[in-house]
Amino acid sequence: DAKTTQPTSMDCAEGRAANLPCNHSTISGNEYVYWYRQIHSQGPQYIIHGLKNNETNEMASLIITEDRKSSTLILPHATLRDTAVYYCIVRVGGTGANNLFFGTGTRLTVIP
Amino acid sequence: GAVVSQHPSWVICKSGTSVKIECRSLDFQATTMFWYRQFPKQSLMLMATSNEGSKATYEQGVEKDKFLINHASLTLSTLTVTSAHPEDSSFYICSASRQGYAGELFFGEGSRLTVL
């Protein structure tokens, strides 16, 4: 699976949009971009994933560049509960893949 | 959404004892479950892949005789840390894949093990 690069940490004011970038310049054509987050002392939580089109769900939006070498996770109105480590992962879609490589992620701190 | 539950959520044990952690998929059948370990301020590291009805596949550097994995049913996988030592203290997390969910993994709440 392709590796990703994310900033170590970011701050965001409560109520503002949080934009978390991710570089994945070696992504293959059949690899999806997944985002998970981990709140302190909890298991990771799935947020969103996409292949090449932008995606939106009730939690966030995912913007993938046309060349697919980078993406941005957008939390439209960050709350204090969004403080967590956010992991960008690229991997082949479908079940059965046995190594979800988490990397170091971005520690997002939402500030009151 | 799909729910994966772990038990216990935390456990403290004496050095030399064995500890069993359970991972259950509550509302779906999981033919494959994964076990991760996470040390403080570090990312998750895959330990092993647990397949229902067959032997687990361990990642390089993970001792299979120390971390016993059993996946006897489609909804339950267990991780037993045998003869635990203080260096085994960690946050253990399981996850399960669900057919039809395009590679999305569902994670348990995690189990924090402290070995005295």
Q: Could you report the per-residue pLDDT of A56-109, keeping only the tens digit for each?
A: 999 999 999 999 999 999 999 999 999 999 999 988 765 454 567 788 899 999
**Above 70 in pLDDT, residue B107?**
yes
Report CB contact under 8 Å: A46, B106. Answer: yes
Measured CA to CA, the distance from residue A83 to residue A88 in angstroms comes to 16
Distance from CA of B64 to the nearest CA of A (A): 17
Rg (chain A; Cα; Å): 13
pLDDT computed for residue A30 by the predictor:
85
For A31, nearest residue in chain B (alpha carbons)? B103
Cβ pair B107, A102 in contact under 8 A = no
Contacts of B97 in chain A (CB under 8 A): 95-96
Measured CA to CA, the distance from residue A11 to residue B2 in angstroms comes to 31
When pLDDT is averaged across residues A32-54 and rounded to a whole number, the result is 93
When pLDDT is averaged across residues A16-42 and rounded to a whole number, the result is 93
When pLDDT is averaged across residues B28-57 and rounded to a whole number, the result is 90
Cα-based torsion angle of the residue sequence B50, B54, B55, B60 in order, rounded to the nearest 10 degrees: -50
Residue A41 is nearest to which of B105, B106, B110, comparing CB atoms?
Answer: B110
pLDDT-based confidence at B30, cuts 50/70/90? confident
Cβ pair A15, A112 in contact under 8 A = no
